[in-house]
Structure 1
């Protein structure tokens, strides 16, 4: 693989005008945003910068860019509680045993006990765990949830959380520090 091909496979983190990480784009899209003035380079410590050359120009593309234009924010609503969305949220994994086979939906507090069909009461469960739990709460069945069910996050917020976690891990690796 050539160095040029290697550079073209890089991805760049895009920040909003108020420095919120909002997405990741390929380097070609980042170059277009920089050349059209819709974005500016963000220079932070320990950030890689790639030089992209054309016959008439050399452009430096940093690992992070910031939009200079204000885009229209598309409205986002929490999706309805459906089998597809619950499976996606739970990463297609039983929330009791971790299995990825024969998945069903389970109401943490059963509907017959006053539970509701809401994001914080529905989880993915394999058939075996769902039958074992039956019409009981997880505590009554002696079962523990792997994660607390909650509604999906706005995609931008989810991206920002992931970005800052990665940055923290990166800084810990650089400094050799681990908070334990």
Structure 2
């Protein structure tokens, strides 16, 4: 194979393909080599959304048209997903490393919105990031007793595929 044909082939293999689930939920972006394997083994099919780009990939015995979008046809791509366990790292990530009472980003701790001593649980909807000062001021009391207000309502993280889908469709505009 000549150097010129190799240099023409290389950029195609660096392209990305979007993989959709059986239900057309975008799951991930993969490299074109992985997409070829999924298509050749019958685990995926090409999708055509009208303006979809296609690349032609040749081997000595096969010429493939690889679509920019493919859909899985086998297996269970919607694996059972559960929210990660409540941890300091995950709470800080969810709350963007910001106190949920005053907005400070310094000296963060975890606070139970409903204190454990009053029946509060260590769950996604009851634990927030709070700076030491706000956590101390709130103490072992309920929010209405302190007059403090949460900046955002605490909730469990959403499925990563949904986060990806929201980001994917935003970048397509």
| TM-score normalised over the length of structure 2 | 0.72
1:105 to 93, 102, 110: 110
Describe the superposition over 1:15-59 as per-residue Cα deviations: whole angstroms up to 9, x where unpaired: 222323233322221121112221111111443333444455443
The offset of 1:75, in angstroms, is: 4.1
Aligned twin of 1:84: 89
Hey, what does 2:31 align to over in structure 1? 26
**Could you say which residue in structure 1 is the equivalent of 2:140?**
135
In 2, the alpha carbon distance for the partners of 1:125 and 1:7 equals 49
Q: For 1:143 and 1:50, how far apart are their aligned partners in 2?
A: 57
Deviation, structure 1 residue 108 = 1.3
Question: Quick check: which has more Rg, 1 or 2?
Answer: 2
Inter-partner Cα distance in structure 2 for 1:99 and 1:7: 47
The answer for the alignment partner of 2:4 in structure 1 is: none
Contact persistence 2:27–2:164 (CA under 8 A): no
Query: d(CA) in 1 for partners of 2:117 and 2:87?
Result: 19
Farther-moved stretch of structure 1 (75-84 vs 63-72):
75-84
Residue 17 of structure 1 contacts residue 70 of structure 1 at CA under 8 Å; is this kept in 2? no
- Structure 2: tracts of 5 or more residues without a match: 1-6
Instruction: Tell me if 1:159 matches 2:161.
Output: yes
Aligned length: 167
Q: How does 1:26-65 map to 2 (within 5 A)?
A: 26-54=31-59, 57-65=62-70
**Helix, strand or coil for the counterpart of 2:158?**
coil
Q: Structure 1 pair 147/30, CA: closer, same or farther in 2 (3 Å)?
A: farther
Q: Residues of 1 paired with 2:154 and 2:39: CA distance?
A: 40
Q: Give the direction of change, closer, same or farther, for the CA distance of 1:73–1:168 in structure 2 (3 Å limit).
A: closer
CA change 1:17–1:73 in 2 (3 A) is closer
Q: 2:162 aligns to what SS in structure 1?
A: helix
What CA distance in whole angstroms lies between the structure 1 residues aligned with 2:149 and 2:56? 51
More moved, 160-169 vs 144-153: 160-169
- Correspondent of 1:15 among 6, 13, 20: 20
Distance in 2 (alpha carbons) for counterparts of 1:30 and 1:101 = 45
How far has the Cα of 1:148 moved from its partner? 1.8
